[in-house]
Amino acid sequence: MSRGARGGRITSRRRVVEIARVGLGVWHLARATRSDDPHRVLDRVLGVRQLAQAALVLRAGTAEAHTLSAVVDAVHGATMVPLALDPTRRRFAVGQAWIALALTAAEVAAVGRGRRA
C-alpha cells in the first residue's frame, strides 16, 4: 500500500501529519462555537480549511500533495505577520504562525528528500 517517503503513495508517517491536521481543524471548529471567542469567524474558516486540506492530501496520498500542503501552511504563516501588527489579534496571529511553522516542518519531514534523479 505505501511505498515509502521517496515519492509514492502515502506512508504512516505522512498519515500522522494529516490526522494531527484533522484534530487541529476540529479544535478550531470547537473554539468557534464558544460565545466568548473573539475570533469565531477566523476559527471557522481555519477549521474548515484544515479539514479540507487533510481530506485532499489523504485522498491524493502523494509526496507532491504533501509538498503543496507545506506550501499552503507556509503561506498561511506569512499571512499572519500583518495580522500580528493589530494588538487585538496579535496573540491569535502569533499562535497561528507557530502552528503553520510546525505543520510546514512536519509535512516536509514526512516527505523527506523526495524522488532522486
Instruction: Give the pLDDT of residue 110.
Output: 85
Instruction: Give the pLDDT of residue 14.
Output: 78
- Three cell numbers at 46? 481555519
Grid cell 476559527 in the structure block, residue: 43
Assign 15 a pLDDT band (cuts: 50, 70, 90): confident
Instruction: Give the pLDDT of residue 32.
Output: 93
Whole-prediction pTM: 0.82
Closest by alpha carbon to 24, among 69, 61, 63, 90?
69
* 42-100: pLDDT as tens digits: 999 999 999 999 999 999 988 899 999 999 999 999 999 999 999 999 999 999 999 99
